[in-house]
Amino acid sequence: MAGSGFRVFIIVYLLALFLRFVGYSISYAKKNSGKISSSVFFVLFGIAAPAGLILNAIFLMHLTELLPNQVNKTIIQVFFTITIEFLILYGAMRLARLMMKVPPLSDEDKITSRYICNDGHVVKSRGEALIDNWLHGHDITHEYEGTLSLGSKKAKYDWLLVAHDIVIEYWGMMNSKEYRKRREEKEKLYKKKGTKLISITNSDLEDINKKVRRKLLTFMDENELDKPKRCFNCGQELDDRY
């Protein structure tokens, strides 16, 4: 390869390497936070990794031309083609884990892990309080923290929408590998027993009125989510004249 052409290729190669590193980091972080599924992550990886291996192979093929002929260039090319991509992926995963580290607890979080909701439920986190208050504000009857029999096994749910037999689970600690494993096992159990399940993550709470509402509409009618107008004095539901 001509000198100027090889220099251009090196620039393109390094740019592609950087983009893969960033892409691996972001997609891995999103997978672990629940923003994308594992299948989507592996599809993205299945596209990026082979392309990276090809670029590594081309780069090393030209680089090993500088080595003496008695050196086994094929072994060197294969070894470093795989090693470079592995190091990119490993470094990206390490960076993603650093990005997902839980920030230090605020003074309020250190003082209490009990939050009293508008309906009197006592929950264990701000995320749970936000969800519970949202359900109460939309007049959706719900039980907090009960046990559901699933055949020979029992599962402790976060909320049960009694009138619709819907279970809501809030997954608020997705930075923990053990927690993610428990979530996967629990969701498989719900699916096996045909339980109507709504899973909520921290990203859903960023726009709870839109995201949680959309998930509830999977099992509920839209008019059931509209909070009825009530009299401020007696609490009686008002009709359309008011």
The domain in which residue 169 lies consists of 110-225
**What pLDDT score was predicted for residue 108?**
42
What is the per-residue pLDDT for 101?
56
pLDDT on residue 86: 92
User: Could you tell me if residue 55 is inside a domain?
Assistant: yes
Q: How far is CA 41 from CA 31, 35, 112, 160, 185, in A?
A: 7, 10, 37, 31, 19
Dist CA 186 CA 155 (whole Å):
8
**What 8-state DSSP symbol labels residue 63?**
H
90 and 142 assigned to the same domain: no
Cα 67–Cα 70–Cα 76 angle in degrees, nearest 5: 55
Answer yes or no: is 239 within a domain: no
User: pLDDT of 67-115, one tens digit each?
Assistant: 787 778 888 889 989 999 999 998 988 888 776 654 444 444 444 568 8
- For residue 229, the number of C-alpha atoms closer than 13 Å in the C-beta half-sphere is 5
- What's the pLDDT tens digit per position in 113-124? 688 999 899 998
What confidence tens digit (pLDDT) does each residue in 177-228 have? 888 888 998 999 999 889 999 999 998 998 888 899 999 999 988 877 766 5
**The dihedral formed by the CA atoms of 25, 30, 32 and 37, expressed in degrees to the nearest 10:** -120
Q: Which residue has the higher pLDDT, 55 or 110?
A: 55
State the number of CA atoms in the 13 A half-sphere of 116 facing the CB. Answer: 1
In a domain, 234, yes or no: no
Residue 219 located in a structural domain:
yes
Same-domain pairing of 79 and 145: no
Give dist(CA 54, CA 60) in Å, integer.
10
Which sign, positive or negative, has the C-alpha torsion 72, 75, 81, 85? Answer: negative
Average of per-residue pLDDT values in the chain: 82
Query: For residue range 61-78, what is the model confidence (pLDDT) as tens digits?
Result: 888 887 787 778 888 889
> 88 and 131, same structural domain?
no
237 — pLDDT class (breaks 50, 70, 90): low
More confident residue, 235 or 142: 142
pTM exceeds 0.85 for this model: no
**pLDDT, mean of residues 7-11:** 83
The total domain count for the chain is 2
- 159 pLDDT more than 50: yes
Asked whether residue 160 is assigned to any structural domain, the reply reads yes
Residue range 139-146: mean pLDDT, rounded: 92
User: Is residue 240 very low, low, confident or very high in pLDDT (cuts 50, 70, 90)?
Assistant: low
CATH number for 169:
3.40.960.10
